[in-house]
Structure 1
């Protein structure tokens, strides 16, 4: 049976991501979207920066839309690279770390997690913790 991205699964991911954010001492905004990029669950931790509310959701949307981690987009979107300008010309895609697509046991894309409010390394670390809660 294929694992679905249910609200319960999304909340489990939020909990894992929040624990990781608390562990590193940095409050985050965490978004989980379904396969269509629609918000399933969201958490804005106390003290997280307001600007990152939208960015976390756009990271999740980018990850599921392109079916790859947002950290991999950086080199592809630099001047002279094949995807230069994509984030400006495609509805606000995000080309830095913190967005991870989610797959089921058959490798089908079922959603994504996006995290924002820390450094790109912190965002990625917290997103990985959330994604692991779905995979695990």
Structure 2
């Protein structure tokens, strides 16, 4: 079972996304903020999932592709709006400056949009 948790930025908001994939059957689950948003039985290689992340007119599509490696094991490929996850994060870091603020065990993130000169929590 592959189980990964990501803290994904979408514009100035952040979403905790958990991806689970059964390596034998390719059955998959996507949880956003601890709520199951998607579940699908395995359909073999190259099956994809598009899941909108965000609010109203500020959304990005999370795409999960299941493929097999040379040993026949399922592998997980994530992309957001057509960009590989690593490229998306790098592009985000070029536009936004973020701070993690922690007080009395509570955590918040602030994001500064350098193009629009706006800060939000």
Question: If the length of structure 1 is used for normalisation, what is the TM-score?
Answer: 0.33
Greater strand proportion: 2
Indicate the structure (1 or 2) with the bigger Cα radius of gyration: 2
Question: If the length of structure 2 is used for normalisation, what is the TM-score?
Answer: 0.36
Greater helix proportion: 1
Q: Which has the higher contact order (CA 8 A, sep 6+)?
A: 1
